[in-house]
Amino acid sequence: MKDLKKYVLLAFPVAIMAILFIFSSQPYHEQDLRPTMNAWFDLEPLRPLLEPVSIPYQGDRITLESHGVAGLIEFIIRKSAHFFIYFALMIAVFLTLKEWWRTKLIHLLTASFLFTIAYAASDEYHQSLTPNRTPYVGDVILDGVGALSAGLLIGLVYWRRKSVRQKEKNPKTKFSSTTFEN
């Protein structure tokens, strides 16, 4: 039964990477959210809220003036997706490695982070092979921030869990941890 759990957990990062690969294979016009947003929503009431937004990207500025309401919202959605999908990939890789590899927490986090960043870089390279898509190192950095945030959250959860257990065992003992335990 333990082996089944390992393979089920392995399915999660593989599924996330497959989804990323599929999206990276699509030209931009197949992913353009603006026509759908404009058809379903009246976005003009958001104009005053978006007026001060100016996001640096590839040596340019993404603004309401340069991209319109739908274009700016789409940009924010797409870049948020970068952050959150790599946040999720980091967690999925960590949980998988945790089942396959018994080692210190820092080693699991480091390996998970490096794997996630390597996949982000390979995904950007893959985009360079797709028509109307361009790779951008800034996206890998954004992906890395998502992965790092997930790693910090994982570390915080495990530290908190361990400190609570330690306090329950011996309330007067100070917390110190070097080895990962389930």
Spell out the domain ranges in the chain.
Answer: 2-28+83-169
- Residues with Cβ < 8 Å from 106, sequence gap 6 or more? none
pLDDT for residue 173 is more than 70: no
Which residue shows structure tokens 């335990």? 181
Which pLDDT belongs to residue 175? 52
Report the range of poorest mean pLDDT among 30-34, 54-58, 88-92.
30-34
Which pLDDT belongs to residue 178? 52
Confidence of residue 129 (pLDDT cuts 50, 70, 90): confident
pLDDT for residue 122 is more than 90: yes
The 8 Å CB, 24+ separation contacts for 127-136 are 127/24, 130/24, 130/25, 130/26, 130/27, 131/27, 132/27, 132/28, 132/29, 133/24, 133/27, 133/28, 136/57, 136/58
Q: What average pLDDT does this structure show over 52-69?
A: 86
